[in-house]
Structure 1
């Protein structure tokens, strides 16, 4: 199982493009790459999951941790590019009610804030 994480930073705006599967094996690697970016004050992070084929509870845990840390540092999180399957997972767990998520495809995403 593989995961690829591409990070673009511009001031306090960070875009993370993830490709592959996020599971018990890859979630720690993902956390290691993106969690340190959430420590700065006022970071606005966009995570693109349009190329993620699988996500389990350990992956959801990474996003919850990122969300909490960003929020405690007066930042924000938006997760974009969710497939209908991933969108269902976020809704079933209630995370869709607390994290800003979008099922738009990458070509339709409004990144004017980035």
Structure 2
């Protein structure tokens, strides 16, 4: 899995994943988000538009990153999840925590 980071304004980091967010990719995902938060961008949008699959390890990484962002005074939001990712969120009842936004640009403005 590959991760890229863009910014919206000065304080919102958009972390885009491309591939499968599984136990193999979860540590790198956590590290990418942590670096952005440490750089002063505690508001993070995870763009899931190109994430083809997510397992429980990926879900755990999302929850851990949410906790890290909130401890830094920010928040973590998700954008553009596919049906499989939404199914995992619904089955775990985390769709109540992670509201899906249609795009990263509106995640903090909706």
Q: Indicate whether 1:5 and 2:18 are aligned.
A: no
TM-score by length of 1: 0.81
Match of 1:43 in 2: 42
Offset at residue 40 of structure 1 (A): 5.9
Match of 1:81 in 2: 80
Match of 1:111 in 2: 105
Aligned-partner SS, 1:51: strand
TM-score by length of 2: 0.83
Q: Which moved more, 1:38-47 or 1:76-85?
A: 38-47
Q: Which runs of 5+ in 2 are unaligned?
A: none
Instruction: Spell out structure 1 runs of 4+ moving beyond 3 A.
Output: 39-42
Q: Which runs of 5+ in 1 are unaligned?
A: none
CA distance in 2, matches of 1:66, 1:110: 17
